[in-house]
Chain A
Amino acid sequence: QKEVEQDPGPLSVPEGAIVSLNCTYSNSAFQYFMWYRQYSRKGPELLMYTYSSGNKEDGRFTAQVDKSSKYISLFIRDSQPSDSATYLCAMRTTDSWGKLQFGAGTQVVVTP
């Protein structure tokens, strides 16, 4: 079983809807949590970076971390066709300074 699980999708939503993405993990030592967006054949782009539990909002994006449930979420409000991409969650422990553990990614399609 992988340390980080993510539903591969595809997740199809109409333009303007809220996109809801999530990851579960098994290692309770994970403390830092990230969400990346990756367009086809491009490198991942950092969207959100959070530490420990709680919520963080940045524009149309909201990241939530629930460490008690080992569950993280990303919400995208007012989705646009340009949001169509693969979304990757990533996380690391406090003492693993460089090694990010990624989920497999969820493909999102926003239809006009």
Chain B
Amino acid sequence: GAGVSQTPSNKVTEKGKYVELRCDPISGHTALYWYRQSLGQGPEFLIYFQGTGAADDSGLPNDRFFAVRPEGSVSTLKIQRTERGDSAMYLCASSLQAGNEQFFGPGTRLTVL
């Protein structure tokens, strides 16, 4: 079956702009996770959803970052007033339920100029 998909695959924006990154989980997976990965580092947890609600958002770095999952399937990560330090690979993962194995998508590479 289809894996986790993320769009766009690449996003280039200017400092101060607003961006939205989309994640489509594996069908039937109730848990969805967002991570950020900088070059040469492992993924860093941002937030995860069980169903429609954010179960743990302790990894969001500040209030410019926000994520939603209104119908318990597709999720959108929103970044306001982007900064150059936000440049990274943004990874989404999903699992059957929270705590099960996490399967990652291909990521969105965000570049803030």
Contact = CB atoms under 8 A, between A and B. Distances in A.
Nearest to B38: A104
Given A98-B33, A99-B58, A99-B59, A43 B42 contact: no
A88 B42 contact: yes
Interface size class of A (residues with CB under 8 A): 20 to 34
Interface residues of B, number: 28
Interface stretch (B12-20, B62-70, B73-81, B104-112): B104-112
Contacts of A45: 104
A6 B35 CA distance: 19
13 contacts: A36-B104, A41-B89, A41-B107, A43-B105, A43-B107, A96-B56, A97-B56, A98-B50, A98-B99, A99-B59, A100-B35, A104-B41, A104-B42
B89 to A, nearest CB: 8
Contacts of B89: 41
